[in-house]
Amino acid sequence: MRIVFAGTPEFARLAIDALIAAGHQVPLVLTQPDRPAGRGLKLTPSPVKQAAQEAGIPVCQPRSLRLEGKYPEDASAARQALLDAAPDLMVVAAYGLILPEWVLSLPAYGCFNIHASLLPRWRGAAPIQRALQAGDEQTGVTIMMMDQGLDTGAMLLTRAIPITSGHTAASLHDELAQVGAQAIVQAIDELRQGTLVARPQPDQGVTYAAKLEKSEAPLDFTLPADVLARRVRAFNPVPGSTLHLPGLAEPVKVWDAASLPGDASVSEGRQPGDVLRTGPEGIDILAADGILRLLELQKAGGKRQSAASFLLGWHPH
């Protein structure tokens, strides 16, 4: 099939690679404009643009697709490129721009989206992180028909995977990217065979995965320890979790932590956020319910370290 692909980050790169490997024609790729990256803030192409260039596929990078919006010249150029590509289908994965109605209706079979949750749970911008943060036992990928709503379109195919206590947002992202790449190829195979069935999303179980904010990084020790441990995993690597430790002027990032049951022998008379004990096994902080053991930390300007290594350079008194 002739498939226009729209996507930006690494999650989407695996999908376009899978479509090319499956033998589909990709006459055009849409991706976000190059962004500054690295210490030198050099303009850097997205992972999807890099994949397209390696495959010799033309790339279009509009700042907007709204013909009546802020960048009408970008939208008009993108529209002409799409018309010239004459796609049977458009596949969208973490693209980052809103698709107006003219885009949704242009391909013969519409637009398929690879969404990293089991819809209708976790519609929106950060489904991987919010599933981890909420303590969900499973998540997955939904291939859906796009419409004007926020991840409200009919479901075409779902694949579930379990969430384990070892998952971070980074590791879960990588697994779901693989699942999504396999699922979109399967969905298109079923479309070609005439066996693909669209199912409306149920009205029950709808939740929204709000965009991650830097303001969520500080750990709030008036929350239970297991909630904080999940948050650390959910915010690894972005936006990260932080806390202030005695003797350090700058907040410390926490990259790994575990929740422990409360211990009255060391916590009596102490307040949430107090350091209870330190040792090679970790730094124990009192939470509202239980103890959060910090396992991997990073000082401002430093490198990630195990708690044992961190303690060698931390003198709280």
Residue 317 confidence (pLDDT)? 64
Domain boundary among 161, 194, 209: 209
Instruction: Indicate if the pLDDT at residue 108 is higher than 70.
Output: yes
The answer on pLDDT for 105 being more than 70 is yes
pLDDT of residue 263: 85
Kindly state whether residues 82 and 121 are assigned to the same domain. yes
Residue partners of 235: CB distance under 8 A and separation at least 6: 129, 133, 169, 212, 216, 217, 241
Residues 273-309 pLDDT 10s: 999 999 999 999 999 999 999 999 999 999 999 999 9
Position 222 scores a pLDDT of 96
Give the rounded percent of residues in the chain with a pLDDT score beyond 90: 93
Domain total in the chain: 2
Question: Residue 268: what pLDDT?
Answer: 86
Q: Residue 37: which pLDDT band, with cuts at 50, 70 and 90?
A: confident
The pair of structure tokens assigned to 269 is: 């008379």
Which residue range is the domain that position 38 belongs to?
A: 3-209
Residue 307 makes CB contacts below 8 A (sequence gap 6+) with 278, 280, 281, 282, 283, 294, 295, 296, 297
Q: Are residues 63 and 196 in the same domain?
A: yes
User: Does residue 30 sit within a domain?
Assistant: yes
pLDDT single digits (tens) 190-218: 999 999 999 999 999 999 999 999 999 99
Q: What is the pLDDT of residues 258-281, one digit of tens each?
A: 999 988 888 888 999 999 999 999
Confidence of residue 111 (pLDDT cuts 50, 70, 90): very high
Q: Write out pLDDT tens, residues 161-189.
A: 999 999 999 999 999 999 999 999 999 99
**What average pLDDT score do residues 84-108 get?**
96
Question: Rounded distance, CA 227 to CA 275, Å?
Answer: 18
Q: How far apart are the first and last CA of the chain?
A: 67
Q: Does 17 share its domain with 69?
A: yes
**Is 93 a residue whose pLDDT tops 80?**
yes
- Tell whether 194 and 239 lie within a shared domain: no
What is the spatial distance between Cα 278 and Cα 256, in angstroms, rounded to a whole number?
Answer: 15
The position carrying tokens 């209706």 is 105
Average pLDDT, the chain: 96
Same domain, 92 and 180: yes
**Angle of helix 169-193 versus helix 10-21 axis, rounded to 10:** 30
Backbone angles phi, psi at 16, to 5 degrees: -65, -35
187 lies in a domain?
yes
Count of beta carbons in the 10 Å neighbourhood of residue 165:
9
- Give the per-residue pLDDT at 264: 83
Domain boundary among 152, 178, 209: 209
Q: How far is CA 42 from CA 61, 148, 214, 237, in A?
A: 17, 35, 23, 21
